[in-house]
Amino acid sequence: MTTKTNTLNEVNLPAVGALAAAIEGNPDKANTVWKASVTWTGGFRSEARVRDFSPVPSDEPAGLGGGDTAANPVEQLLAALGNCLAVGYAANASAAGIEIKDLRIDVDGDLDLHTFLGLNPDGNAGYQSIRAAVHIDSDADAGQLADLHSKVTGTSPVGHSLARPIPIEIELA
């Protein structure tokens, strides 16, 4: 374990602290809206645009009729969970003064294609279960890592979104 500094694990602690203080002073600042815009580019290909970043491509594997040029949406969902957990580990470890030497999160899930393919219209086209295995290399002791893990899993926006029913409105505009 190391002592707290302005940056640890390449996390800008003053920026995170300033955001927390701003929200504490004005709770309405916590209510945010995030956006993405997806454009179909042919076949099963599309690209998502978020803020001013380069587009993120999507395609289906050849076995599902795609060109296999990019990760498909359900793989991107798993990646989003892994990425969100990585942010949580970096932020919470840094705040606790824990140096991370290496972090890898392996995510997989079980998906039954019957409903997606129209073979079971009353079924569930989504994941039946998702698993994440966190591999973290740190000098922190087992208790500190357990506390860190609990904090991260208890505060992950993507994890919470996947674990709880949320209303989704999809309208034809």
Q: Give the CATH number, domain containing residue 103.
A: 3.30.300.20
Question: 164: which DSSP letter?
Answer: S
**Structural domain contains residue 82:** yes
**Residue 149 to residue 99: CA distance in whole angstroms:** 14
Q: What is the pLDDT of residue 111?
A: 96
Domain that holds residue 88: 7-33+72-163
* Mean pLDDT of all residues belonging to the chain: 95
Q: Name which residue leads in pLDDT, 107 or 17.
A: 107
Q: What is the pLDDT of residue 22?
A: 95
Same domain, 52 and 96: no
Q: What is the pLDDT of residue 7?
A: 80
Helix, strand or coil, per DSSP, at residue 132:
strand
Scan for tokens 């390449």, then name that residue. 10
Question: What is the arithmetic mean of pLDDT over 121-132?
Answer: 95
Q: Give the model confidence (pLDDT) of 24-44 as tens digits.
A: 999 999 999 999 999 999 999
Spatial neighbors of 86 by CB under 8 A, at least 6 apart, are 103, 105
pTM surpassing 0.85? Answer: yes
**Structural domain contains residue 172:** no
Report CA-CA distances (Å) from 85 to 18, 68, 117: 21, 27, 31
